[in-house]
């Protein structure tokens, strides 16, 4: 198979879909890897490193998209890339289509097989290709939150961990999954008071156990959320429903009750956000806006700020699935890998993931009804 790696064009997105080491693995399996010149530069990987591993460097995105049978990316294609779509193309990337109706329509129109990293799901419920970026984003949420609490960034002017004789900040985390757990680790490590709000009693027991009672846990309900949000210095949205829009757990009125200069970091913004006042997506070049006296950070590609770490972590988990898709061909790979089947969001002009179809208002068609009989 010919696998193409274009340069990411999203604002300040410095990750790349494949490391030179990943290219070597695909080449050793007999596949061709074509890389747009400069695609790895933001992550610290030179063109020479890719060439050394047998990848072919091409000067433009047009050539990479045009020659590849499967495109591997990091972020969802932007409108400037829709023109590259064609029938027979396989796209393997983070898609988050529930918040991207125009992208979904373009993929359907051009009959692209679009496989989303974030909806590949194991029988256990784990999301193996989303997990490493959730770990990065969860840890970053506290890091950026601590920064924007500084007065010169518009925050309350407080130190997350406090100092002797001065209380630490109150960090409220909505969701106790991978993002929330990693956010709690960082916030606790910096000395903050940490509260995690989660709807699963079993997960709350797990968090209480692994943190040895050093964080407070609350059952998710409107009453607990409203009371906790009002006390927050830093509020982190860490809610995920695979493939679907994030539920709005924090109302605009709750945000109005927050302390002046408090900070919101909504990691779920690429799925629509879990906080009502997160009504726009920001970028690394202009990451925040103020509403009701509260600073909002709503960058949809947070791990792009630490591209070296993120690219290495991403390739670690995507390479196995890429090998299967390339080695068996898409159809045979899907038959043999149920978690991978769940990653298919569009196929042959149909939306094949129910939560996406519901979110964007397009008909849902079960993937099995579209696959040829094995």
Contact 18, 315 (CB under 8 A): yes
Contact 105, 355 (CB under 8 A): no
Q: Which residues are annotated as a binding site?
A: 15, 75, 134, 203, 220, 239-240, 267-270, 280, 299-302, 324
Contact 198, 180 (CB under 8 A): yes
Query: Can 96 be counted among the known catalytic residues?
Result: yes
Say how far residue 217 (Cα) sits from the centre of its chain. Answer: 25
Residues β-bridged to residue 237: 174, 266
Report the C-alpha gap between 315 and 337 in whole angstroms.
19
343-359 residues labelled b (16+ CB within 10 A) or e (exposed): bbbbbeebbbbebbbeb
Catalytic-labelled residue, pool 110, 266, 270, 350: 270
Q: What contacts 36, CB < 8 A, 6 or more positions away?
A: 4, 5, 6, 7, 57, 58, 59, 60, 61, 63, 64
Q: Which residues are annotated as a binding site for substrate?
A: 15, 75
Query: Can 31 be counted among the known catalytic residues?
Result: no
Structure tokens at 369: 């009804």
Q: Which residues are annotated as a binding site for Mg(2+)?
A: 324
In this structure, what are the phi and psi dihedrals at residue 2, rounded to the nearest 5 degrees?
A: -95, 115
239-250 residues labelled b (16+ CB within 10 A) or e (exposed): bbebbbbbbbbb
Tracing tokens 């916030």 back to the chain, one arrives at 187
Q: Which residues are annotated as a binding site for NAD(+)?
A: 134, 203, 220, 239-240, 267-270, 280, 299-302
Catalytic-labelled residue, pool 31, 96, 110, 350: 96
Catalytically active residues, by annotation:
96, 270
């Amino acid at each position: 198979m010919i696998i193409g790696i274009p340069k990411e064009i999203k604002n300040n997105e410095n990750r790349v879909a494949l490391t030179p080491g990943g290219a070597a693995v695909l080449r050793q399996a007999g596949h061709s890897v074509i890389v747009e010149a400069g695609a790895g530069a933001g992550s610290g990987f030179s063109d020479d490193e890719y060439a050394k591993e047998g990848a072919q460097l091409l000067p433009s995105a047009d050539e990479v998209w045009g020659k590849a049978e499967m495109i591997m990316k990091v972020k969802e294609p932007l409108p400037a890339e829709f023109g590259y779509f064609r029938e027979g193309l396989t796209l393997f990337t983070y898609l988050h289509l529930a918040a991207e109706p125009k992208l979904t329509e373009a993929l359907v129109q051009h009959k692209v097989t679009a496989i989303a990293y974030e909806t590949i799901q194991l029988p256990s419920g784990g999301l193996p290709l989303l997990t490493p970026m959730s770990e990065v984003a969860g840890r970053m949420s506290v890091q950026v939150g601590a920064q924007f609490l500084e007065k010169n960034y518009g925050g309350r002017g407080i130190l997350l961990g406090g100092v002797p004789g001065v209380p630490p900040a109150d960090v409220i985390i909505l969701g106790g999954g991978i993002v929330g757990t990693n956010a709690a680790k960082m916030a606790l490590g910096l000395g903050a008071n940490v509260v995690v709000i989660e709807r699963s009693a079993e997960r709350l027991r797990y968090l209480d156990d692994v943190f040895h009672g050093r964080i407070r846990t609350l059952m998710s309900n409107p009453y607990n959320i409203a009371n906790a949000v009002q006390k927050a210095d830093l509020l982190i949205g860490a809610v995920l429903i695979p493939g679907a829009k994030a539920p709005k757990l924090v109302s605009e009125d709750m945000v109005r009750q927050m302390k002046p200069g408090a900070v919101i970091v909504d990691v779920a913004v690429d799925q629509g956000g879990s906080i009502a006042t997160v009504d726009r997506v920001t970028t690394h070049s202009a990451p925040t806006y103020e509403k009701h006296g509260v600073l909002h950070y709503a960058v949809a590609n947070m791990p792009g700020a630490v591209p070296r770490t993120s690219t290495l972590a991403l390739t670690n988990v995507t390479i196995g699935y890429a090998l299967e898709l390339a080695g068996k061909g898409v159809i045979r790979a899907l038959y043999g890998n149920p978690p991978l089947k769940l990653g298919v969001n569009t196929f042959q002009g149909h939306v094949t993931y129910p939560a996406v179809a519901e979110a964007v208002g397009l008909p849902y068609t079960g993937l099995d009804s579209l696959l040829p009989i094995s």
